[in-house]
Structures are given as C-alpha cells and as structure tokens.
Amino acid sequence: MENQRSLSSQADVEHLQKMLAESGYSRKAIRLFIEKPHMGTIPDADHVSEMTGTCGDTMSVCLKVENGVIRDLKYQVLGCPGAVASAMAAVELIKGKTIEEARALNDGDIFHLLEEIPAQKHHCIQLAVKTLKKALDEYAPKSD
C-alpha cells in the first residue's frame, strides 16, 4: 500500500510539473513551488509582517536578524504557484545578506532567478518584494 502511495504521489508530482511547464513556468520556478524550501514560520522571529495582493494572494514573512544580517527568513503563502515560487526565490536571494542588501532586492532579481513564470503572474513577484520590504521597514525601528 505504501509503495502504491509513493508511485501515485510521484505520478501526481510529474503531472503537476507538466501542467506548470505548459503554463509557462521554468524548471527552477516549478522546483521552488513543489519543494517549498523556505515555507513556514520561525517560532522566535524578530519580526513578522503580512500583506495581501490585489489578486487575493496573502504572504506572511518571518525575519530572524542577528547583527544586521538576515540569519533566517521564511514565508507563509496562501496563493498560486507564482506566489509560492516568488517568495521562495526571494529567500534564496537575501538570506545571509544585510538588511541594507535585502532592501535592494527588486522584481527583476526574482524574475532572473525564476527564469520564467507566466506574464499574468508577474504581480506575484511584486507581492513577494513588497511583503519583504514591509517587514524590513517595520523591523528597522525596533533594531535601533
């Protein structure tokens, strides 16, 4: 029974990968969506911010900062594959960077890392960046 579940699960993943690829997502974006390597919360986070996009997708970001460096960062995402992949890409780009370096993150940086997502999902990239910048702005007064 367990082997059947594994095979079915693998078949489901392959089907999902195919659908996403046909919709215009790159392999990198698909991997980030399926694996969700930076999804979750940080129990002892230094700051948490949330934002809802115009499409209704909602992101929450947890920051753990040490000596001005982002030591850990996780997103919770209630949204589409584009939103999840964009949030995961944002973490890959700024984890281990200073707050100032993280503030420089822009939509193009995430798009470059993702390689390709459907044009109608580019707003997801903007939401990931805006949510992060909101968290950084709200965190800044606390760090003084």
Q: What is the pLDDT of residues 74-133, one digit of tens each?
A: 999 999 999 999 999 999 999 999 999 999 999 999 999 999 999 999 999 999 999 999
pLDDT at 142: 64
Give the integer Cα–Cα distance in Å for 100 and 5: 46
- The tokens for 31 are 């991997």
Rg (CA), the chain: 16
Quick check: 2 pLDDT over 70? no
- In three-state secondary structure terms, 74 is strand
pLDDT band at 3 (very low <50, low <70, confident <90, very high): very low
